[in-house]
Structure 1
Amino acid sequence: MSVNEHKSKRYVNCRTAVITVSDTRGEASDKSGRLIKQLLLEKDFTVADYAIVKDDKEAIRHAITYRLAGSDAILINGGTGIATRDVTLEAVKPLIERELPGFGELFRMLSYTEDIGSAALLSRALAGTIGRTVIFSMPGSSGAVKLAMEKLILPELHHIIHELNK
């Protein structure tokens, strides 16, 4: 089976959850969360849940585990930098059963070549699976979200969910 034939298999009724990690954003100022939801809806995904949580490991873990049962995909933005308060990866990584290292690698490569140059090395984007749910954790800037969603996540999301539900 060719790559295109393989990728053409679509899992229907994909339910997604969007989590923004931020100590400063509210729903009105969450430009990146809005962008993720908009891009998902444009590609016929259901946005079943949305939350903004503080940069706190336990709050982030709770937000993820609470949404696992009702989501095929959880898309997280924010808290992926190297500042002391950026703890999203420390919260997410222990929950991951199977890491998808290509997401972070490709995201940093695209960020370097298309967007921010050497500052891409500061990005700690991460993806993996927990059971039959795929988790994507990306930086919180709307430019990073747009890049990750349009170039990496949306082109593969149906395929990933299909594979997880075989």
Structure 2
Amino acid sequence: MKYSLIALVAAATAVTAAPASTTVTVSQQTWFGWPDNCEDGYTQGCGNNDVAYNCNGRNYKAGGDGSHSNPLTYATKKGGSLHTPCEITYFPYLRKYLIMSDICTGCDDKQIDIWIGDGDGGQAELNCENDSPSGNGHKLTRQPSSSLATNTNALWNGGCHVSSNVYSNA
């Protein structure tokens, strides 16, 4: 009886335990926003905040502030093995939670393209994307705890704020 109770408790613990977080290395990190969010990835249907997946009840719209309850949209390769649609991850480089809500036509499986912000900032927003720190080798945490250090500052809100919101030592 004693062994049966121990086995039952162990089995119940295994079922209720949260999945362990894993860290993956991103091959490249880039930015996208309203002006260059296009249906085909390049030229058709540009100039909106439409995304491929209806995550967190957002009605197929990009957004988020980077908190766990309101993660920032990111895109990656369709059908890639590393990212699951609507999966919440954590990106220490920005100290933001991200949610995979869109498809990046030109991305590889380990590349992420992060939504820079709402509103059609036109060429100024494109300049912000192009001039902001990007790169490769950043870490992305899958199945993160919901209580990690978070920066909810806007990356774009009519002006470019990316450079002041990166944590290069992360």
Report the TM-score range of the alignment, normalised by the length of the smaller protein.
Answer: under 0.3
Q: Using structure 1 for the length normalisation, give the TM-score.
A: 0.27
Q: Using structure 2 for the length normalisation, give the TM-score.
A: 0.26
Which of structures 1 and 2 has the bigger CA Rg? 2
Q: Which has the higher helix share?
A: 1
